[in-house]
Amino acid sequence: MTAPALQLIDQDLFDQVALRSRQSDRQRMNFNLHQESDLVQRFLNVMQPGTYVRPHRHSRQGTGEGFECFVVLQGSIGVLLFDDNGVCIQRHRLDAAGPVRGLQLSEGSFHSLVALTADTVIFELKQGPYQPLADKDFLVGFPQEGELESVNQEVEWRSLFDV
């Protein structure tokens, strides 16, 4: 599949992807601007409060780094950074209205995201091509997505941001 010559990133697109995210069991939905084989992954990630992102890091073998860059275009997210033992060592609120709208994580940084407002839209950028079997290294000690404990974990993390 080839990409269109022009892809508008506008409110109509946000609304379409947000609707799909609300209908998704995961309460989030990506809209890829890249092809799987592209050397740079570019996509919108639309998240709803209640979505659980298991702590993970990105690292890549071969060319490219496992960096990840987030810019909030609509709404607000909390970003949690963890050490190798699962202890939260930093947290940052990213909000489309500022003062902090984005950040870049270096390769190997364990992290999670929590949606703080409905229909939050994030632009993400990371090294490609997409490697589905090696994209994430999950942090031990946290529930898997879909487990009952993941619901409680997400609520606890969201409460750290006084929502």
The residues spanned by each domain of the chain are 11-139+147-153
CB 68 within 8 A of CB 104: yes
pLDDT tens figures, 72-84: 999 999 999 999 9
* Site of tokens 């209205």: 97
**What are φ and ψ of residue 26, in 5° steps?**
-80, -15
Q: How far apart are CA 15 and CA 67, in angstroms?
A: 28
Q: Which residues of the chain have pLDDT under 70?
A: 1-3, 61-64, 132-134, 163
Q: What is the pTM of this model?
A: 0.92
Q: Does domain 11-139+147-153 have CATH number 2.60.120.10?
A: yes
Q: How far apart are CA 163 and CA 158, in angstroms?
A: 7
